[in-house]
Structure 1
Amino acid sequence: MDSWQDIKQVVVVGLGITGLSVVNHVRKKHPGVTLRVMDSRENPPGAEQLPSGVELHTGSFNPEWLNQADLIVCNPGIALATPEIQQALNKGVRVVGDIELFAWANNKPVIAITGSNGKSTVTDLTGAMAKAAGINVGVGGNIGVPALDLLELNADLYVLELSSFQLETTSSLKTKVSTFLNLSEDHMDRYQGMEDYAQAKRRIFFNAEHALVNRDESETYPEDDELPVATFGFNDQDFGMREIDGRVWLVDNGEAIISTDQLRLVGKHNWSNALVACALLKLSGIDYRQGLACLTAYTGLSHRCQVVADEKGVKWVNDSKATNVASTLAALSGLSLAGKLYLLVGGVGKGADFSELAKPLSELNVTLCCFGRDGDEFMALHPSAVRYDTLNQVLTDMTPKLQTGDMVMLSPACASFDQFANFMARGDDFTQLAQQFSKQVS
């Protein structure tokens, strides 16, 4: 049955890049449909790019439009609990999101990825390895390009990062394989609790051919007992890890894939991300071994444990995206260094408790470099702690001390807005300084 049958009036709620992708898709594929857009913001981003003839309502929701619609396409940032959306739902109006529209239009294989942490890296890496294996691939969704815009590529495979918000309004997406990486507390202002949050993420398994789950987290398993399930984790079952002759290897059902010391990705959580990318490709019928050269060269997404300089045996790692304690803990997990770690922490702490960092720091050969407005909050965590004002000061002081085997990592556990516009600007500043100072290592 045609999902668009009897749909004559569509209201898009929420503009921005996602809303614009919906407008452009509907206008191109269903030109006979009447299209209206509303956004509760007075000056929504993307308004100037809206095609002429598309009516726009700003500054509030318009209940009359919503109740008259045959279909409402909701931006993922708009909660279904919004009273005006609930009123329309109660009147029988169908409410979907952009991913559901993608599902209606797409007939190519899809790999879908969700989770509280790591999903952007897994999505990007899976796409890069598929491309290296000779596949014409489109990568996007909650990262980068909106899913509906990807359809213009006419790719042979789509790799989609999907948030819980997107999944709330998605029920028809068919996938070759879907994965739910992990679950940690987030978005509790939107959900009734952790189970409600997990339930939204488990919708990724609707209409999947295979499920890939985290064997250490039962919450990531599908509720459908009939769905074939593969697992990943840190032991050597299924897709896992094994120590062979003192080296840690990624393994596929006992068969060694690649040793972790061949990867440029930093940290145990990133080894897991690499393992998941291989598993997703295999479960989709793609030979991941054709992408292993890509995997060894992959340095990560910008600002997420990204190696930005590697000179004279010293690695410089930009993890500016670590704006909270959990992210910095993930970056430290499984770090194995021949030399010393110079860890740069600080910024705006947002009232966080940093004491959880003390134990992993105690197990590392580390110098803790504390900077920014709340740098003092870190000083008691490790006897090595040194106080600075700026990133430039930190790197000026430490560079003459660096030796082969050392690592310099910015993983601040704090927001950036004391000294930078955002975490990207902070990461860019660190990257520029790292590339400058790395040349001075003796």
Structure 2
Amino acid sequence: MAHNSTPLGDTVRAYRRTAGWNQERLAEESGLSVSTVRNIEQRGHARLDTLSQVAQAFGVPTSALFAPGVPHPVGDDDSANRQLLASLRQALMPPVGIAGETLADPGEAAEPSAVRRLIEDALSLYNSDRYESVALMLPGLLRQADAAVVAAEEEGCHQEAVLVRAHALLLAGKYLTQVRQYDMAYQALAEGIRLARELDNTLTAATGVTGLCWLLLRQDRFDEAERLAATTAEAIEPKLSTASMGELAAWGELCLRIASAAIRNNREDEAKQARRMAATAASAMGHEHRDYRTHWARFGPATVEIKAVEDLSLAGDAHGVLSRKDQGLLSKETLEAVGRPSAINWHRHRLDIARSHVKVGSTHDAMEELARIKKKAPSWIRHQPMARYVMEDILKTRKRTLTREMREMATLLNVRA
């Protein structure tokens, strides 16, 4: 029988035939339906968690199934994004002439301390889910950071100004990764890491690497993300008895990146080992901690625990996720004692819970989780594919007329009701 040819479909079909399986056998081994397997081979695309189940059945890393191909056409809203990001592109990626000069708006001269305060304000807005405000601040902030470096060369405080510029770039990279503007995010992060290396500021460079690993994970580049995080973690591994909070947090965050990449790539043993290292760092700290001058994200015992629960979600263990919901390190009492994880990590954790509720048939509970996240972080949830997947699954099981809340959620997440 003739079949459609797609890079992913051809790769999965080749693995299946090498194993001597028909589609029914692959469905049985992977825990998927025959129609899902047929859809992957014929249409050539699948959710990452579905693809991971196929890879597990074959006993290969998920990345082994990835194959190059022509990208899908850009959506109709690309022109709108180009316009919205024009000012940020000008500040981050100015034109360069043949003599090496940049034709950029030089910005207003500012003291490094003033730019640092702007970074702190923008990071606070980012952590409060106020992405529109961050987007408005970043172009001017980056131009001021550039101008501060130029002015500092004349005033003898060059190193401080360059470090501030590196922090401004890392903030831009963090924001752009969150809103899935990956090429621009890479530009910002790579330049921030380069500046930190020039200053021999290891923790700032490691912070940039942590952000770059997140970007690679978002692009399904699991092997590269794991390797980058592992080599950097090895280079900065602290002595637990004398390490500062910033050193422990930076190392612990890199260990979390190793685990996140490994578990997505069906490397469970490596993920478990990295989770143990992260837990060691968190235990030595004793509570959640954040200081953007040494590491960007909040890190501590609660953060490590929600990432361990995320592993269960990625493995499809819905009952395991729900059994640890609001228990142990994630109980209300313990969170009050050790501190809460960052809002973004917490919302991502609640999406895992929503997804698990759907898997066990509790769509009402899943909808309640989505509604709580929407209330607290409407801008954040709009950018989350997992939220769309959960909503799609809720709608598939819905036999009655949709509630107003469901219709509004579907509209927010761009899911066809």
TM range (shorter): under 0.3
Q: Which has the higher contact order (CA 8 A, sep 6+)?
A: 1
The structure whose residues are more often strand, as a share, is 1
Q: Give the TM-score normalised by structure 1.
A: 0.27
Q: Give the TM-score normalised by structure 2.
A: 0.28
